Structure 1
Amino acid sequence: MERLDLTFTWIGIATLAIFVVGYYFIANEEKYHIDKSVPALFIGIFTFLLISVYYYINDLDIKMVHDEAEAVILEIAEIVFFLFVAMTYIESLIHMGVFDRLKHNLITKGYTYRKLFWVTGFLAFFISPIVDNLTTALILSTVLITIDKSNKEFLVPSAINIVVAANAGGAWSPFGDITTLMAWTAGKGNFIDFIFLFPSSILGYLITAFLLSRFVPNEKPNVNKDEKEPKMKEGAWMIIALGIITIICAVLSHQVLDFPAMWGMMFGLVLLKIYSFRLTKIFGEGHFNVFASMAKIENNTLLFFFGILAAVGALYFVGWLTLASVVYEPQYLGSTYANIGVGFLSAIVDNVPVMSAILKANPDMDLSNWMLVCLTAGIGGSLISFGSAAGVGVMGKLKGIYTFSSHMKYAWTILIGYFVSIGIWYVQFEILGFN
């Protein structure tokens, strides 16, 4: 049975209104001290229940709502379980001292502020495709405040550099950003297709980084080189290796076996649990326990994704996303200009619901434009400090230093890099036809 268009009925208007009010509280999490997962879960779950009531009282086929809810749950499960395993590995590496060792190695090299700016930026760009942009930004922003807690001339440009690098690095990997992960699991591109975004991502980032670096002092920070060198725990290198194997399993699972990528990730979790059992036998209970790593996962982040993806599913079901997708029609903006606009929208709204809405609306686009929207949704969030998870995370780490206003002072450098990335995409995909 064809899905009903309910956009301008009371249920359609109520669904949109609840989403807007809920998203207001999500965007103002720090102002109201309400964890973002709470309004996200409310709008996601309540709107579907409200739609069910509408179908029930109007004697409509409620099985349509049931089928849509099941489809949404399946989509959410693929994302949430993927992230769950990735977060477990990250927490395991933190416990084993991997990132403490990295941080120590960086701050004891005797680098100048400017060299540290470049090193942390490149690390963010190349770690985020494997780890994810939020975790990468949190780790490296911790390194920044370890180097210097008060020098804003160093901290502000370097914080922006890490956010831009983490988002740009995440854009060319299927699991470097939630948006690319969503597009990959939705079948909008193969694993290798995302790799072709590398030139756009890195060249746009390098332009922004070069411009930002001009504002960073070229002198050495005062660092305590006598600080005791942290040691990685026994088994750390094996967990790193298992993490790489897990990523390979996720790729093979999705690309070769046509399974959800999370299936390969869950197999990687099994391997980690087996190795955890071995480490416990050798070194005792306190050395490493995979369930202790699971306990440290930011569950509010997972619940936020559950809620926001369910809310976008409700907007799609009542017809709002189909209505909004007309901008992709050739007589309006068309795919390319609409996708460029997505970057600016994702900076204001957050790229996750924006990408979810686009995937739900499923406009008729070729591969090059699906790659463009992954690029713009990913790196567009850098334009404003709270436009991406990485930016929000760094704002929390550098409170009072990296702020909305301090970010906007240098936003022009990010805008230039954004258009350079789009220009590289255009040459690569549209002129040369190389993808």
Structure 2
Amino acid sequence: MRSNLVMIRATKLPLLFAGLLFTFPAHAAEAPALFGIPIEFILFGLTLLGVALFHHHTLAVALSGLFTITLYKLLVTGFHAGSGLAGFLGHLQHEWVVLTNLLGLLLGFALLSRHFEESQIPKILPCWLPDDWKGGFMLLVMVFVLSSFLDNIAAALIGGTVAASVFHRRVHIGYLAAIVAASNGGGSGSVVGDTTTTMMWIDGVSPADVFHAYAAAIPALLFFGVFAARQQQAFAPIQKDASAGARVDWARVAIVVWILAAAIGTNVIINTRYAEFSDAFPFLGAAVWVALLLAMPLRKPEWSLMPEAIKGSVFLLSLVLCASMMPVEKLPAASWQTAFGLGFVSAVFDNIPLTALALKQGGYDWGALAYGVGFGGSMIWFGSSAGVALSNLFPEARSVGAWLKSGWHVTVAYIIGFFVMLTVVGWHPHAPHKMTPAIHNEHPVSLNQ
């Protein structure tokens, strides 16, 4: 425990916590606060600190924090939907689609990842990857590209599965952080690559206004990718040759493609044609599971993975639900400094409400914001759903101190990438955001709920 405390102090985790608290000042004078900080933020901060310190008991800490915050809201402040039990039920009614979608994706992609692993493709990849550190770097590039059109959870799990194979299941925590960063960075410039960019697209932001996030994400990849690949090569060199007797199971490959196609197709159809129903039912999570079940006659999923996957998923959902109850009513004035700071906040705070608030407020450069809230969550393992999903495959990653110490290059890469983008592209804020008439008429979606 003492060594964890030393690592956390050395890596300045308290600065991230302070950024979380002071980025969102209290706006309701009557709400109980300590030194101007709403009590809910303090309780949430203590929960995150508990997760950081007691990384072998993260589920218990998260559930305890959720219980405490819920009880406080029930007895003292109430919820956006009202006070007391009725307000809590109203809050759950609003959040259940997001939570159920996330649960379906986490559990479904855990099974998808095993299908991919048993397809034997990871075992023959050493024939295609370079034999030195450049092989690890090319794997990160692959994850980055996959995430531009896949969900970042799927891209991270595929990358982690391949890494477990080519590095003989000895994967450095710094390299795990790089896999998460590659998955989040790859999705930051694509409106189908990340939930936050998809939210922008639904609300009327043009895909072209998000694309230049790659002006930051690509330099960031080049920086953390080289350092992480060298870390990994020194820790456990890449397998030089394909495993003896490895033969591709094309049936499992077809299942993986089928599930991903179902997820992508559902996401595109719902968000472009039936967006008014997107908050009525968890279509994305349901599509993944329907595809999984339909593929069972071909190959059965590895159901034994479910207990651990459920534990990891409940942990993430607990933190997401805690974050949804925070009194976040307003962001600071839109500027490049705010967008830059939101990257650090998103390392400990759910980036979906941050994006929703930014869309309501307007005045942001959407590419810069997409990079900030998308890539920023890579700096801590529970800062993004991709990190939590990958930690289900590699439980040793569930240490904030180890993640920050070994994955320092991700934080530095975030800073480098952001300022490269400012230098090359500049800051081009849009007027306070309004949906275009066509989109408003066809898809009357409200993100401010």
Matching residue of 1:171: 188
Given that 1:80 and 1:302 are in contact with CA atoms closer than 8 Å, whether structure 2 keeps it comes out as no
Mapping for residues 151-190 of structure 1, pairs under 5 Å: 155=172, 158-173=175-190, 176-177=193-194, 179-180=196-197, 183-184=199-200, 187-189=202-204
Counterpart position of 2:345: 345
* 1: CA distance, partners of 2:72 / 2:144: 38
Find out whether 1:265 has 2:284 as its counterpart: yes
Indicate how the Cα distance of structure 1 residues 194 and 105 shifts in structure 2: closer, same or farther if over 3 A, else same: farther
Given residue 377 of structure 1, which amino acid in structure 2 is its aligned partner? V
Deviation at 1:341, TM superposition (A): 1.0
8 A contact 2:132–2:237 mirrored in 1: yes
Question: Unpaired runs of 5+ in structure 1?
Answer: 56-60, 329-333, 431-435
Does residue 200 of the first structure (1) align with residue 215 of the second (2)? yes
Distance 1:169 1:248 in 2: 19
2 CA distance for matches of 1:191 and 1:265? 22
1:71-220 mapped onto 2 (5 Å cutoff): 72-97=91-116, 100-109=119-128, 111-148=130-167, 155=172, 158-173=175-190, 176-177=193-194, 179-180=196-197, 183-184=199-200, 187-189=202-204, 192=207, 196-197=211-212, 199-200=214-215, 202-209=217-224, 212=227, 215=230
Deviation of 1:237 (Å):
0.7
> Following the alignment from structure 1 to structure 2, what is the Cα–Cα distance between the partners of residues 171 and 193?
12
Determine if contact 2:131/2:240 at 8 Å carries over to the other structure.
no
Q: Does the 8 A contact of 1:136 with 1:166 survive in 2?
A: yes
How much identity, in percent, do the aligned residues show?
A: 16
**Residue-by-residue CA offset, 1:197-255 (whole Å, 9 max, x unaligned):** 45335433344257538957799855454533154263641552343133222222122
Are the aligned partners of 1:170 and 1:378 in contact in 2 as well (CA < 8 Å)? yes
Aligned residues of 1:93 and 1:240 also touching (Cα < 8 A):
no
Return closer, same or farther for 1:135/1:274 CA change in 2, 3 Å cut-off: closer
Distance across 1 between alignment mates of 2:398 and 2:52:
17
| Larger helix proportion of the pair | 1
Cα 1:210–1:313 shift into 2, 3 Å: closer
* Greater C-alpha radius of gyration: 1
> What is the aligned partner in structure 2 of residue 378 from structure 1?
374
Does the CA contact (< 8 Å) of 1:97 and 1:232 recur in 2? no
Aligned residue type for 1:314: M
Q: 1:193 & 1:264 partners in 2: Cα distance? A: 26
Note closer, same or farther for the CA distance 1:94–1:326 as it changes in structure 2 (3 Å cut).
closer
Q: Aligned partners of 2:306 and 2:270: how far apart in 1? A: 27
In the TM superposition, what are the counterparts of 1:229-378 in structure 2 within 5 Å? 229-232=246-249, 234=251, 236-257=253-274, 258-260=276-278, 263-265=282-284, 268-269=287-288, 271-272=290-291, 275-276=294-295, 279-280=296-297, 287-288=299-300, 292=303, 295=306, 298-316=309-327, 321-322=328-329, 325=330, 327-328=332-333, 334-347=334-347, 350-352=348-350, 355-356=352-353, 359=356, 364-366=361-363, 368-378=364-374
TM-score by length of 1: 0.71
Contact 2:267–2:284 (Cα < 8 Å) also in 1: yes
Deviations 1:181-203 (A, max 9, x none): 6x459x54558367624533543
2: distance between equivalents of 1:248 and 1:150?
33
* CA positional deviation for 1:326: 5.8
Q: Which amino acid aligns with 1:335?
A: S
CA contact 2:143–2:182 (8 Å) conserved in 1? yes
The residue aligned with 1:48 is 73
Note closer, same or farther for the CA distance 1:297–1:215 as it changes in structure 2 (3 Å cut). Answer: closer
Partner SS for 2:332: helix
Q: Aligned equivalents of 1:252 and 1:294: distance in 2? A: 30
Match of 1:331?
A: none
TM-score when scaled to structure 2? Answer: 0.69
**CA spacing shift, 1:188–1:410, aligned 2, 3 Å:** closer
The verdict on how the C-alpha distance between 1:19 and 1:410 changes in structure 2, with shifts beyond 3 A counting, is closer
**Mapped contact 2:120–2:247 kept (Cα < 8 A):** yes
Deviation at 1:7, TM superposition (A): 2.3
**Distance across 2 between alignment mates of 1:398 and 1:62:** 37
TM-fit CA distance, 1:22: 2.2
Structure 2 alignment gaps of length 5 or more = 1-26, 431-449
How many aligned residue pairs are there?
A: 394
Say if 2:51 and 2:57, in contact at 8 Å, map to a contact too.
no
- Which residue does the alignment assign to 1:19? 44
Taking the aligned partners of 1:140 and 1:391, their CA distance within structure 2 comes to 12
Q: CA deviation at 1:25?
A: 1.5
Structure 1 position 116, deviation (Å)? 0.8
The separation in 1 between residues aligned to 2:225 and 2:85, in whole angstroms, is 52
Q: CA RMSD in A?
A: 4.5
